[in-house]
Amino acid sequence: MLNVNPWDILFTVINLLIFFLLMKKFLFKPVAKIMQEREDQINKDLSDAKSELEKAQTAREEADKKLASADSDADEIIATAKKRAEGQSADIISDAEKQAAELLSDARKTIERERADAVEAAREDIADLAVMAASQVLGKNIDSESNREFAKQILAEVGADND
């Protein structure tokens, strides 16, 4: 049968207590300390990750705002450039119209001047022809310069009446 000795039980209990105390001191406490440090490190890493995520979200929001601002600035610059281009276009067209009007006016003046010169030349030619015809009719050659002046006066009077 089984022999139970109380001293054996007592020694076993004492051995177990000593073993438990040694394990508690040398195993459980360091392992618990390592596990606590690891838990603290994990919590710190999670906290840092949340902080970095918040910073990233803030930076993204700022970047989105800057992008929207840049878009509106670009639209404003484009609108300003269009207005400036339209103004310059209007100025160029206005200058071109002025130059065209000046050219047309100069051309009209030139035409009028050339017309007047042609009329004057025609008058002189007619006066010469009239003097020549009169000389032929009279059969003699009179002073051509005085006759020319006389013919010019007559043509001027006739021309003044016709104008």
Q: Is residue 84 in some structural domain?
A: yes
Residue numbers of the domain that contains 145:
6-162
Q: Is residue 113 in some structural domain?
A: yes
Radius of gyration, CA atoms only, the chain: 61
- Supply the pTM of this predicted model: 0.39
Q: Is residue 96 in some structural domain?
A: yes
Q: Is residue 104 in some structural domain?
A: yes
Q: Is residue 127 in some structural domain?
A: yes
> How far apart are alpha carbons 119 and 135 in whole angstroms?
24
Q: Is residue 1 in some structural domain?
A: no
Residues across the chain: 163
Number of structural domains found in the chain: 1
Tens-digit pLDDT profile for the chain (163 aa)? 577 888 888 999 999 999 999 998 888 888 999 999 999 999 999 999 999 999 999 999 999 999 999 988 899 999 999 999 999 999 999 999 999 999 999 999 999 999 999 988 888 888 777 777 666 666 555 566 777 777 777 777 666 555 5
Q: Is residue 135 in some structural domain?
A: yes
